[in-house]
Chains A and B, each alone.
Chain A
């Protein structure tokens, strides 16, 4: 048997909607494919490709002083982060893809100033329950789902945050001209893309007030910030056929069925 003959180094590329963050475990910056990979303390566990999807999950441990960790400090980013790891040959400056996946969970070790990112491959998408939807009066998908055919961007309304309560989950805003409840069940999007569901939309003492499902962090949304809001959906046919009639063809796209009888005399006990 012979020695490996190769000193393996790795390049790490984290891809986010706002750009890519690139790191290298080589003790100097590396240029590859037009990007500079900054040296940092970073390492990862071995991915194994087998019939078990879990075998290909890895952990990347990195010094906490990096841009990706910063995204998670104030809460998880509201978008997926893709990771690509290259095996890098410093002599030839050739790279081979070692791993491709998605960051699904961070873990900060505050005492050692490191953060570990748990990553999964494309099998991540397959982790969902299926063949469980049944037909009911409520739509099995919302207006924000591509199947609805609703162009939600056309319903976007720009607002400005006037003030927040102490818990920061009730906002007084300006820019809303719609009647109360129009945005209930809808969504508010902060400038950094983070999102919350609007539970209630009321006019209180002349102020347009939005109650959110949960508060935004202070640096995400504060008084004076601009934000976008989208109207809501209670999944009923009536809402789809009236509120979104133009985009749902007068309710034709609704994903429910309010006519299922309570009885089906012919089939008993079949689930």
Chain B
């Protein structure tokens, strides 16, 4: 038994003493074991965004032996001499210094660091540009005892990336000899991981035993930049940057911007827009890693923010937001009064054919490890109108990195695109046109057909030597489709030529001078076929009426009957007179009342009446056809 145990212990000792020992890896071998990489453009970052930074230097390489850590089982077979095993090298810890290029500066703060997708640092929103912090996770990959592959422990410096800070002192001591100085990488924010010589135990990144080759790992860094060049104090919108600050950087930056002179910018308008965007919580978080142009970036910001930046000849680059920020009553009126003579006004009412009913905005969600997600808006009303036809559009905004903003923009765009809005081109007089600007809202009023629209100015064409008028390209404002009117019942600018007809004409009078005795005369007339008919002939005189368009209606009360309105309408002749005839079929008193009306049927409701009595009706035909009146004022026809 003891012999067997002794043999086993001896075998164990022999195994430990003859075990293959790990070898050091030289820096040259370390370099050779790595794959080539390409230099990448220096990225731009604003707001909070994740980047995979380019490793622009590594060095200060060092390896240290790792001795075996005895376990309690070792003491079962080796006794107290197991402590000797702690001197056996079983692995090497590897240390290295590194520099990562983050993005254009200045003032890039580090929120999080991931190595091989394992979170190594969380700054919890601390501002650390120009400062440093410790990465302390030595067991990250299993520690330094085999089969572990090490961990991470290092001091990190975050360079500020401005044009005044000096080079990193740690790198300076390693890479150049005085009096020369290391490049301070002006304008670029970097992350410097100190190696072994830069900080106690710093640079530890790998460990391994026999056959293990140390390998650098992929880092991902969540950076945060919130520049404040406009000095509004509204440069931080949550984790995001203010979009106008991003616009400003791409307009003025010496490194990646347009280098536009400051004096060409209407700064106060930019500041006002920045404040409003902050109030709306419309921020910008994004990165640009590939070649582009300042104009392209700025246009993307304009689309994201519904922003217009116009090169006003008098004010400079002026920023305005497309918002529902007006009252209808205060809008300038665009009517025929300001439209150029013989100008062609073209209006194309929009159709649903041209509308969009599904809008997607894709973004990397900063609240979910920057995984790509879509924000979607569907307009069901539009889809039903289009018979179920789905018309999608995907809008790409560089500066969207959270679902709240993504949903806001998808909804905003979806609502605007789901309603047809018609464009219009209108040439206008210089006095009106020179006051107009892109993004302005005006009220368009038209007659024949009568309608009004609230329109937003899309383009302003200024006059030239050959075209003396301004021309405006308009589109119905997305916030004012409810203000559309057609055939508006209220007042319009239309001049009504018959407005005076709304006043009632004066009452007419009976023409007693020509139609005795009281404007009514009994007359016998020969009818077709030789018979004779009795008729009452009435004559009236109209009062003077300026508008001229009047007529009279006759109310008749026949003997034994009640007053009825006859269908007769009497119009005045050139002498303002008129006459009518009424058949006298029975004897008795006939009453006639006249009431005057304008051509718009407006009356003063005063009836002027006269009557006549028919005492006898003899329908025999007189040979001479004469009529005889009775002395009592009545009339009859006799032989």
Contact = CB atoms under 8 A, between A and B. Distances in A.
A binds B: yes
A49 B54 CA distance: 41
Interface in A235-271: 237, 241, 245, 249-257, 259-268, 270-271
Interface string B258-283: 11110010000000000000000000
A251 B183 contact: yes
Given A1-B342, A1-B343, A267-B52, A252 B184 contact: yes
B415 to A, nearest CB: 20
B215 A265 contact: yes
A131 B256 contact: yes
A100 B266 CA distance: 14
A133 B41 contact: yes
Given A130-B257, A241-B180, A135 B463 contact: no
B575 interface: no
A127 B299 CA distance: 13
Interface string A19-47: 00000010000000000000000111111
B184 A132 contact: no
B333 to A, nearest CB: 15
Given A1-B336, A3-B341, A8 B459 contact: no
B331 interface: no
Contacts of A147: 163, 186-187, 254-255
Contact of B293 (A25, A97, A122, A130): A130
Interface in B30-66: 31, 33-44, 52, 54-59
Contact of B31 (A136, A261, A271): A261
Contact of A237 (B183, B292, B460): B183
Contacts of B56: 135, 257, 259-261
Interface residues of A, number: 75
A263 B179 contact: no
A87 B467 CA distance: 13
A4 B44 CA distance: 50
B242 interface: no
A261 to B, nearest CB: 6
A51 B216 CA distance: 47
A230 to B, nearest CB: 20
Interface centre among A8, A10, A126 (most CB of B within 10 A): A126
Interface in A143-191: 145-147, 149
A98 B462 contact: yes
A136 B183 contact: no
Nearest to A89: B430
A3 B427 CA distance: 12
A68 interface: no
A125 interface: yes
Contact of A146 (B188, B254, B343, B465): B254
A128 B341 contact: no
Nearest to B103: A131
A46 B187 contact: no
A91 interface: no
Contacts of B336: 1-2
B175 interface: yes
B230 interface: no
Contact of A259 (B175, B251, B288): B175
Nearest to B184: A252
Contact of B463 (A53, A87, A255, A264): A87
Contacts of B291: 129-132
A10 B465 contact: yes
A37 B295 CA distance: 35
A134 interface: yes
A4 B215 contact: no
Contacts of A46: 461-464, 467, 471
B332 interface: no
A198 interface: no
Nearest to B310: A49
Interface in B94-108: 99, 101
Interface stretch (B311-319, B551-559, B617-625): B311-319
B290 interface: yes
A48 B461 contact: yes
A146 B299 CA distance: 27
A102 to B, nearest CB: 10
A271 B38 contact: yes
Given A99-B462, A130-B293, A122 B37 contact: no
A92 B371 CA distance: 64
Contacts of A250: 179-181
B185 A257 contact: yes
B159 interface: no
A123 B467 CA distance: 24
B217 A122 contact: no
A196 to B, nearest CB: 23
A122 B264 contact: yes
A55 interface: yes
B448 interface: no
Contacts of B166: 249, 252
B183 A257 contact: yes
Contact of A50 (B184, B187, B458): B458
A5 B54 contact: no
A213 interface: no
B430 A265 contact: no
Interface string A87-130: 10000000011111000000000000000000001110111111
Contacts of A270: 37-38, 40, 52
Contacts of A256: 183
Nearest to B259: A125
A43 B183 contact: no
Given A43-B465, A48-B461, A266-B55, A131 B43 contact: yes
Contacts of A126: 251, 258, 260, 293-295, 298
A143 to B, nearest CB: 14
A256 B288 CA distance: 21
B429 A6 contact: yes
Contacts of A8: 430, 463, 468
Given A2-B337, A100-B311, A252-B181, A127 B293 contact: yes
Contact of B341 (A1, A43, A121, A122): A1
Given A127-B295, A270-B52, 11 more contacts: A4-B468, A6-B429, A46-B467, A87-B434, A122-B316, A125-B258, A130-B293, A131-B41, A241-B180, A261-B55, A261-B57
Q: Which 7 A-B pairs have the closest CB atoms?
A: A265-B34, A43-B465, A264-B37, A126-B295, A132-B291, A100-B313, A46-B464
Interface of A: 1-8, 10, 25, 42-51, 53, 55-56, 58, 84-85, 87, 96-100, 121-123, 125-136, 145-147, 149, 237, 241, 245, 249-257, 259-268, 270-271
Interface of B: 31, 33-44, 52, 54-59, 99, 101, 163, 166-167, 175-176, 179-188, 215-219, 250-251, 254-261, 264, 288-295, 297-299, 302, 308, 310-311, 313-314, 316-317, 336-337, 339-343, 429-431, 434, 437-438, 458-469, 471, 473
13 contacts: A6-B429, A44-B464, A97-B314, A122-B264, A128-B293, A128-B294, A131-B43, A133-B42, A135-B42, A147-B187, A252-B166, A263-B34, A265-B33
